[in-house]
Amino acid sequence: MADLSVQPKKRKIHGLVWLLLAIVLLVIIIFLQRSCNDTGDDYAVKTADTSATVGATTPTTTKNDTSMAGRTPGAGNWDDIDQNAPATGYDEIKDKNVSVRGNGNYGIYSLGEDILFDKGKSTIRTSAAQNLRQIAASINKRFKGGDVRVYGYTDSVGSTNNNKQLAEQRAAAVRSWLAVNGNIDSSHISLNPIGEGRPIASNSTEHGRQQNRRVEIIARKP
């Protein structure tokens, strides 16, 4: 009878011990999991913060070069130039072969091809020097330091490419003359070969074609 009364108590003690061990083990597991999660979260936050800092401290710079070294001749807004501006008179322009139109902000000097060049050629005639001297003097008087554009025009006889090439060669010849002999800074002069475009007369007649073969020099105030 004594054995029957003692045995159940030992089983109860053993059961309690295993229960306590199980609880302690569970607590340890939970603690370890939380520690791992906290470490991972901290790492993620630090990584994100570091990335944000790097992005914030990386400067984005833009270069705005206003020096003459990066300047394009004739650059700027030319939208206010009216190609059909009314004729005007400059006292310094004495030669009737030079027509002038424009206003106080810009001047358009126009010379016929027959004054500047032989037909189909791009070499400036010696006799045209007096015309170009007057134009250069007028530009230096009224538009000193401003940009200058030299436009070359032809008639529509021949191919479009050949006309464009001839217009460019003639404009380049005038540009060179103005820079070398006209005391105009070459960095302010740009070429604008048009060719057979923008005719001012009909190309169906010889008189109209002669009017279309021309060089126009546009100068504006700086």
Q: Domain map of the chain by residue range?
A: 1-55, 85-220
The mean pLDDT value for 161-186 works out to 96
Query: How far, in Å, CA of 127 to CA of 44, rounded?
Result: 83
Per DSSP bridges, beta strands 148-153 and 106-112 are: unpaired
- Record the pTM: 0.66
Question: What tokens were used for 8?
Answer: 């159940």
Q: Which strands form 189-195's sheet, in the order they lie side by side?
A: 99-102, 106-112, 214-220, 148-153, 189-195
The torsion region of residue 195 among left (phi > 0), alpha (psi -120 to 50) and beta comes to: left
pLDDT at 67 > cutoff 60: no
Q: Which residue has the tokens 């070398």?
A: 180
Comparing CA positions, the residue from 137, 147, 143, 146 lying closest to residue 95 is 137
Is 85-220 assigned to CATH 3.90.1010.20? no
Q: Angle, to 10 degrees, between the axis of helix 129-142 and the axis of helix 160-181? A: 70
The per-residue pLDDT for 7 is 53
Q: How would residue 10 be classed by pLDDT, with cut points 50, 70 and 90?
A: low
